[in-house]
Structures are given as structure tokens and as C-alpha cells.
Amino acid sequence: MNNKKVNWLFLCLIMVDLSVLALQIISYVVFGTGLSIGIAANFILSELMLFLPGLLFLLTSWNKPGAVGLNEMLGFRKMKLSSFFMVILFTFLIMPMTTAINAISMLFVDNAVSAISDDVLKMPFPVMLFLIGIYGPFCEEFVFRGIIYRGYKNSGPIIWSIFWSALLFGLMHMNFNQAAYAIAIGIMFALLVEATGSLWSSVIAHMIFNSEQVCLMYLVRYIYPDTYSASSASEGLTTETLLAVIGPYLIAAVAATSFAVCVLVWLAGNEDRKERLRSIWEGRKMKGGRFVSVPLIIAIILSLGYMILDVVMTRLA
């Protein structure tokens, strides 16, 4: 897999996503109702729409099956047990950063997660914990850190591979709110993969991150069973309230993220990859293949166009 194939893959993912949305619109216009399949089925389908095209592109790019196995090609390597526990710590340390970015984005756009939270809470906790906390993160890491990031890394400097793979990870969420912090997460997860040398590290971190959000959602609902509504709670946040909390969030984010970077350095040393981690910054000026191509430009325009249209339609509603 190289950058050209990666860009075609991302365009394919965006086209599949938009095609499903188009079917929903057509269904609403023709039959007066959208394609309603339930929140659980929706999660299963949306992740399959990532995983299956990614797997197809990967298999068609696997030119030397006798030389490199798929696990090795994707980076599914073993980590030390001590590294596993430090990955958990790293994950919790980057959470204040994502919270701060989420709060800042809510000054301009609605919280996308809260819009579906009430539907999520209608489902049994184990079901949603598996779908959001385990199944989803594995599919997304398989595609974005396993295929897209490694494809870019085969074509140019690592630092730009990290940036572009993180950008695409954000755009794939198809809304500005999630895209904002997903880009930051994508950067941190790619650095984590480089520090450990294993895709399992980002898979574990992503699972912990999502699972914590699910557990918190159900915990709040359990504490306030009669009054809690995620969507109404989000709508009740005023600009003044957000501005009041952003400052403390930013301070916590800077402090926690600084410790997260220290954990990355420790992980690189523990896995004998300090030179690899150092080479990311040192190789920023290296020349390599061009990351941007026509399919990527089309995909970015389509995704941004949909996100802008979504904001406009939400404001007009």
C-alpha cells in the first residue's frame, strides 16, 4: 500500500458513506421516512463500511504474501507487559486534551455525540460497550493506523504521514465537532504506534478511550435516571458556560499532555525505539513522495462540503 492507493481508499470510504446518506434522503423523499435500522445496527454497518473496503484494498496491495504476513504488514506486534500498562496511562493523560478541544468546538458547532446519546442509552450497556468500545476502535485503527498511516509512511516523511492520516481520520467522522478532537487523537495514536512499534497500542488506547466515554454516559444516567438527557444537557450549555470551563480545561490539557509526551518517550525506550521516535522530528525536512493527489482532493472537498451543509441545515432547522 502506498500513498496513491491510500488516497483512492479514502475517496472510496467517503463515497460509500455519502451513498448511504443519499439512500436515506431518497427513502425519505419517496416513502416519507428515512432508512431506520436502529442505533446498534447503524454502528455495525458504519464500521463495516470502513473495515471491508480497507480489507479489500489491503489484500489487493499484498504483492508478496510469502515475504510479509498481514499481521507484520499492519504492525500487529507484541508489546512488553509494562508497555501495556503505560499505554493505559497514556490514554487517560490525553483525555483532558480531547475534552478541551471538544469544548472549544462547541462554541461554533453542536456536540455530535450528544445528539445520538439518548438513542445509545436505550440499548443494553454490554451491547453498546462492545460496539463503541471494542468493535468500532478495532475497525478504525485497522484502517487509519494500520493501512492509511502505514501507506503514507511508505511514501514520505513520517511526520507528514502522521499529519495526513490524522486529518483523514478527523474528516471521516463527517462533522466538525468530532473531527476537531479526532485529528488530535489521530496524531497522538500515530505517535503511540511509532513509540511502541505495535498497532495493538493504538487499538488498546482507542478501546479504552471509547469505553470510558460509554461508561461515563451510562453512569450519569444511572445516577440521574429520571432527569438525565444527554441531548438536552448539551443544548443547555451556553457560550458563557463554555468560556468559563475552557480555561481550566486548557490548563489541565497542557499539563496532562506534557506527561503523555513523557510516557511516549518512556515507551520508546522500553521498546528500544528511541531513535525511531527521534527520527520523526529530525526527518521533517526529508523529501518524499507527494501525499496529495486528485482522489484525495476530491475526497476532502466532498467531506468538507457535507460537513458545511450539515451545519447550515442544522442552523436553519
The string of pLDDT tens digits covering residues 198-220 is 999 999 999 999 999 999 999 98
Q: How far apart are CA 109 and CA 88, in angstroms?
A: 30
Residue 289 confidence class, pLDDT cut points 50, 70, 90: low
Q: At which residue does the C-alpha cell 476502535 appear? A: 137
Residue 69, pLDDT score: 67
Residue 33, pLDDT score: 66
94: nearest Cα among 237, 262, 306, 291: 262
How far CA 51 is from CA of 130, 140, 174, in Å, comes to: 16, 7, 17
Q: For residue 127, give every residue at least 6 positions away whose Cβ sits within 8 Å of its Cβ, in sequence order, or none.
A: 40
Residue 83, pLDDT score: 97
The string of pLDDT tens digits covering residues 65-106 is 555 566 777 889 999 999 999 999 999 999 999 999 999 999
For 107, phi and psi rounded to 5 degrees?
-70, -20
Q: How far apart are CA 21 and CA 15, in angstroms?
A: 10
CB 100 within 8 A of CB 251: no
CB 132 within 8 A of CB 43: yes
Give me the half-sphere count of Cα atoms (radius 13 Å) on the Cβ side of residue 211. 17
Helix (H), strand (E) counts: the chain? 15, 0
The string of pLDDT tens digits covering residues 262-275 is 999 999 999 999 99
* Mean pLDDT for the chain overall: 89
Residue 14, pLDDT score: 96
> Which helix H or strand E contains 226, and what residues bound it?
none
How far CA 286 is from CA of 80, 144, 152, 154, 289, in Å, comes to: 31, 23, 14, 13, 10
The length of the chain, given as a count of residues: 317
Whether residue 162 has pLDDT greater than 70:
yes
Residue 81 per-residue DSSP state: H
Residue 44 confidence class, pLDDT cut points 50, 70, 90: very high
Q: Which cell goes with 103?
A: 469544548
